[in-house]
A and B are shown apart, each in its own frame.
Chain A
Amino acid sequence: MLHYDFMQRAFCAGGIIALIASALGVYLMLRRQALMADMLSHVSLAGVAAGIYLHIDPTLTGFIAAVAGAVAVEYVRRAYKTYSEMSVAIIMVGGLSTAVILMSLARATNKSFTSYLFGSVVAVNRTELLLMGAVALVGGAFFYFMRRPLYQMTFDEETAKTNGLPVKWISLGFSVITGMIVAASIPIVGVLLVSSLIVLPAALAIRIAPSFAAALVISMGIGLAGVFSGLAASYQLSTPPGGTIAFVLLVLLIAGIGIRKATYKIRKLL
């Protein structure tokens, strides 16, 4: 299958996104913002719909909408400090309702929406691959240079503030990077399942990792394994890549938790 250009691009794009999205997932899970990826993907869908309706590149408009949504969520989160998850609900409703309205207005292009909703291996063109590479580079640099402040903020933002960290700006930067990664992941896994690529590897890594650094590495490994095997299965079975990758990641999560529990019980018996 790798002799096809589109499969080479899909594997390249999938590998890049798997690494960066699963690292992001660890921070999102620990900051209790796991739903943020889902929310931003719905906002991104509004951007895609706007792009199709206005005859502008939907990838670009989806990208801009996700980043704008990420900035908005930071401000709404601060307005609803006590109920921060409310910001997710508010912006998700805003994104999805806008997307539905624009999608109904752009009826003639329903077919292209399917690839944005569920992902497509043939949907990844050269421009998108370059965009993913750029996002991975920016995201990777952010996570590398900000790894210690982010670790500190993951525990407690107030303690981080007393340590002199510009928590507000780092948090905003983190949200923007999240929006960029979500938007870049959409061509491969689709809007509806983009959160699976971010949340599922991290969910398993957090359960089995002996340390924080190990959690990041394990999450990236699981993400990579899930995406590559999901893409291969998608090609062989002619199924949408988004659903197949999400399903493989779910199987890995269930198997991982099962093995961990079995190991724990065996150790107890010995």
Chain B
Amino acid sequence: MRMVSLRDVNFGYGDVPCLEQANVDIFFGEFVTISGQNGAAKTTMLKLMLGLLKPWSGTVELARRNAGGGKLAIGYVPQQIAAFNGAFPSTVTEFVRSGRHARGSWLRRLDQEDRRMTEDAIRQVGMWEFRHRKIGELSGGQKQKVCIARALAQEPDLLVLDEPTTGMDQESRLGFYRLLQAQVKDYGRTVVMVTHNLTEMAEYLDRCITLERKEDGGWKCCTTTSCSGHFAPVG
């Protein structure tokens, strides 16, 4: 069953195209990465998938329902959240808990289960001892972990992460890849992640999408590659 489908998608900024004739399918329960050089339109592709950008032409279809027929829950971790400045007066727990509000009604009162899920998410990313700290006081890598915890607290059907390991040390990164793999294998979630660390991640992935510049000009093409052993683009 398709989670996201891009058909002949063209997109650019101003008059300059940056993604042409992109055709991509991502299926339920897959762990997929998007990679490519700087400026290869990786974030753009993510935003097109999520409906945050409208394509110039072509179609983007994102599943509305999860496998159980309920409303699809999306956990999105952007590359950087501008509001995370030193003065932001919100604690780690407060922020992660806001992920629970995104499930169901925004007015519902959070219960014991919500509290447990919030605490689990904070523990999973290794931020338990920082749970009462203001997020503005955390380091870049720690802020990133808190964003991931918020997305996990949502119990998302689709988890979309844009270079989430920026600022993380190697040990944290490897632990994080295992955590994402568990989301796919244990909970049947779909994970789409932009990364530059393909080699490091190889053993955890189902598939990778490579965005690359074509030899004849300034636009990029999109190739989907099986991740069984190598990452050389095909097609």
Chain B residues near A156: list those with CB within 8 A.
Answer: 78, 81-83
The answer to the question of A80 belonging to the interface, with a C-beta cut-off of 8 Å to chain B, is no
Chain B residues near A152: list those with CB within 8 A.
Answer: 98, 101-102
The distance from the CB of A160 to the nearest CB of chain B, in whole angstroms, is 9
Instruction: Tell me whether A211 and B101 are in contact in the complex, defined as CB-CB below 8 angstroms, given that A30-B88, A158-B78 are known contacts.
Output: no
Q: Interface with B: A85-93, A118-126, A201-209, A247-255, which one?
A: A201-209
Count, chain B residues at interface, CB 8 A = 28
| Contact present for B76 and A162 (CB under 8 Å) | yes
Q: Interface with A: B89-97, B180-188, B194-202, B220-228, which one?
A: B89-97
Point out the residue from A151, A162, A205, A215 that lies within 8 Å of B74, measured CB to CB.
A162
| Contact present for A159 and B78 (CB under 8 Å) | yes
| Contact present for B87 and A206 (CB under 8 Å) | yes
Chain A residues near B71: list those with CB within 8 A.
Answer: 164
The answer to the question of A107 belonging to the interface, with a C-beta cut-off of 8 Å to chain B, is no
The answer to the question of A214 belonging to the interface, with a C-beta cut-off of 8 Å to chain B, is yes
> CA–CA, A215 to B77, complex, Å?
25
| Contact present for B81 and A213 (CB under 8 Å) | no
Contact with B along A154-166 (1 / 0, CB 8 A): 1110110111110
The answer to the question of B54 belonging to the interface, with a C-beta cut-off of 8 Å to chain A, is no
Beta-carbon nearest neighbor of A218 in chain B: B89
Count, chain A residues at interface, CB 8 A = 28
Q: Which of A188-223 contact B (CB under 8 A)?
A: 205-207, 209-215
Chain A residues near B98: list those with CB within 8 A.
Answer: 148, 151-152, 155
Chain B residues near A209: list those with CB within 8 A.
Answer: 89
Chain A residues near B19: list those with CB within 8 A.
Answer: none
| Contact present for A155 and B94 (CB under 8 Å) | no
Point out the residue from A30, A163, A164, A212 that lies within 8 Å of B94, measured CB to CB.
A212
The distance from the CB of B78 to the nearest CB of chain A, in whole angstroms, is 6
The answer to the question of B174 belonging to the interface, with a C-beta cut-off of 8 Å to chain A, is no
| Contact present for B91 and A211 (CB under 8 Å) | yes
The answer to the question of A149 belonging to the interface, with a C-beta cut-off of 8 Å to chain B, is yes
The answer to the question of B16 belonging to the interface, with a C-beta cut-off of 8 Å to chain A, is no
The distance from the CB of A167 to the nearest CB of chain B, in whole angstroms, is 10
Q: Which of B40-96 contact A (CB under 8 A)?
A: 47, 50-52, 71, 74, 76-78, 81-84, 87-91, 94-95
| Contact present for A210 and B91 (CB under 8 Å) | yes
| Contact present for B102 and A163 (CB under 8 Å) | yes
Beta-carbon nearest neighbor of B76 in chain A: A162
The answer to the question of A145 belonging to the interface, with a C-beta cut-off of 8 Å to chain B, is yes
| Contact present for B89 and A155 (CB under 8 Å) | no
The distance from the CB of B14 to the nearest CB of chain A, in whole angstroms, is 11
Instruction: Tell me whether A214 and B102 are in contact in the complex, defined as CB-CB below 8 angstroms, given that A154-B83, A162-B52 are known contacts.
Output: no
> CA–CA, A162 to B90, complex, Å?
21
The distance from the CB of B229 to the nearest CB of chain A, in whole angstroms, is 33
> CA–CA, A212 to B101, complex, Å?
15
> CA–CA, A149 to B78, complex, Å?
18
The answer to the question of B134 belonging to the interface, with a C-beta cut-off of 8 Å to chain A, is yes
The distance from the CB of A212 to the nearest CB of chain B, in whole angstroms, is 4
The answer to the question of B160 belonging to the interface, with a C-beta cut-off of 8 Å to chain A, is yes
The answer to the question of B107 belonging to the interface, with a C-beta cut-off of 8 Å to chain A, is yes
Instruction: Tell me whether A148 and B89 are in contact in the complex, defined as CB-CB below 8 angstroms, given that A155-B95, A159-B78, A211-B94 are known contacts.
Output: no
> CA–CA, A163 to B104, complex, Å?
10
Counting chain A CB atoms within 10 Å of each CB, which of B50, B89, B101 scores highest?
Answer: B89
Beta-carbon nearest neighbor of B103 in chain A: A163
| Contact present for B52 and A210 (CB under 8 Å) | no
> CA–CA, A165 to B71, complex, Å?
13
> CA–CA, A30 to B78, complex, Å?
18
Q: Which of A123-157 contact B (CB under 8 A)?
A: 145, 148-149, 151-152, 154-156
| Contact present for B90 and A211 (CB under 8 Å) | yes
| Contact present for B76 and A213 (CB under 8 Å) | no
| Contact present for A145 and B107 (CB under 8 Å) | yes
> CA–CA, A253 to B95, complex, Å?
26
Question: Chain A residues in contact with chain B, CB under 8 A?
Answer: 30-32, 145, 148-149, 151-152, 154-156, 158-159, 161-165, 205-207, 209-215
Q: Which 10 pairs between the two chains have the least Cβ-Cβ distance?
A: A163-B102, A215-B89, A212-B90, A162-B76, A209-B89, A148-B101, A162-B74, A148-B106, A156-B81, A211-B91
Q: List 6 A-B contacts (CB under 8 A).
A: A145-B107, A149-B106, A151-B98, A158-B52, A163-B154, A211-B94
Give 7 A-B pairs besides A30-B83, A155-B81, A159-B76 with Cβ atoms closer than 8 angstroms. Answer: A30-B88, A148-B98, A155-B84, A158-B78, A159-B77, A161-B50, A162-B74
